[in-house]
């Protein structure tokens, strides 16, 4: 009842440009070649071109509907695939994973394979920037129907979007996202699992994959990471 194309358009409405995008855009504009892993609808790379980036920009995502929207610009290379499936070899100065996309790596094997492929895509000394939600404030406890968002979608329909946690097993949280009518009739239900790793675990995986952490922040103004920070923002370098 609610198509992939409609859901991709809704994603852009629910995730308007904000401080996190400004953070990544600064990094992108300073790099000659950029790989956006989990690029979604391509908003970040679109903005980079609009701001005058003249180098190589590549967006990678497994979601074909999202990439259909991204292809509104043809001066960026859009590639269907996962991080682990990437086969670039020393081609990018920078790789980014925005919008908490890093958290989709819920198994050790997937995380290791993805980090290995991302590192291989970077030139020597190339940087990888990403963020994850800090597990200490337990943000998933706020993912409830009581915190639903009500809006008019791109097709002109009044809808409610809400989340419901289904399980918390170790550091993996599984939850549903429901798009519903104002009366609560479900139009679409998607289920997702995300992994909430603390900094020491992140650093262990990064180190094993051949990265060294260059910078770590707790907010998009580059403030320090604290126990109450909502984000764990990491910039790592290929070594």
Taking residues 71-94, report their average pLDDT. 98
The pLDDT score that the predictor gives to residue 1 is 87
Total Cβ atoms within 10 A of residue 175: 18
10 Å Cβ neighbour count for 96?
27
The predicted-structure confidence for 210-227, as pLDDT tens digits, reads as follows 999 999 999 999 999 999
- Please give the Cα distance from 19 to 122 (Å, whole number): 25
| Three-state DSSP state, 17 | coil
pTM (predicted TM-score): 0.96
In this prediction, residues 187-198 reach a mean pLDDT of 98
Residue 93: per-residue pLDDT: 98
pLDDT tens digit string along 89-124? 999 999 999 999 999 999 999 999 999 999 999 999
């Amino acid at each position: 009842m609610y198509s992939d194309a409609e859901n991709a358009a809704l994603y852009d409405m629910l995730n308007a440009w904000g401080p996190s995008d400004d953070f990544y855009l600064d990094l992108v504009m300073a790099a000659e070649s950029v790989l956006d892993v989990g690029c979604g609808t391509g908003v970040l790379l679109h903005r980079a071109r609009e701001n005058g980036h003249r180098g190589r920009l590549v967006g990678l995502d497994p979601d074909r509907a999202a990439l259909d929207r991204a292809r509104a610009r043809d001066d960026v290379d859009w590639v269907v695939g996962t991080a682990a499936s990437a086969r670039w070899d020393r081609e990018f100065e920078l790789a980014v994973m925005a919008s908490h996309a890093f958290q989709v790596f819920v198994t050790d094997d997937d995380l290791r394979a993805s980090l290995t492929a991302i590192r291989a895509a970077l030139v020597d000394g190339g940087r990888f920037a990403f963020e994850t939600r800090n597990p200490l404030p337990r943000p998933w406890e706020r993912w409830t129907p009581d915190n639903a968002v009500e809006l008019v979608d791109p097709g002109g329909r009044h809808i409610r979007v809400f989340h419901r946690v289904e399980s918390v097993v170790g550091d993996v949280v599984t939850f549903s996202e429901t798009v519903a009518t104002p009366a609560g009739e479900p139009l679409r239900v998607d289920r997702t699992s995300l992994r909430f790793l603390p900094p020491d675990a992140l650093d262990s995986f990064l180190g094993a994959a051949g990265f060294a952490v260059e910078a770590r922040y707790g907010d998009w103004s580059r403030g320090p990471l604290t126990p109450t920070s909502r984000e764990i923002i990491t910039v790592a370098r290929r070594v």
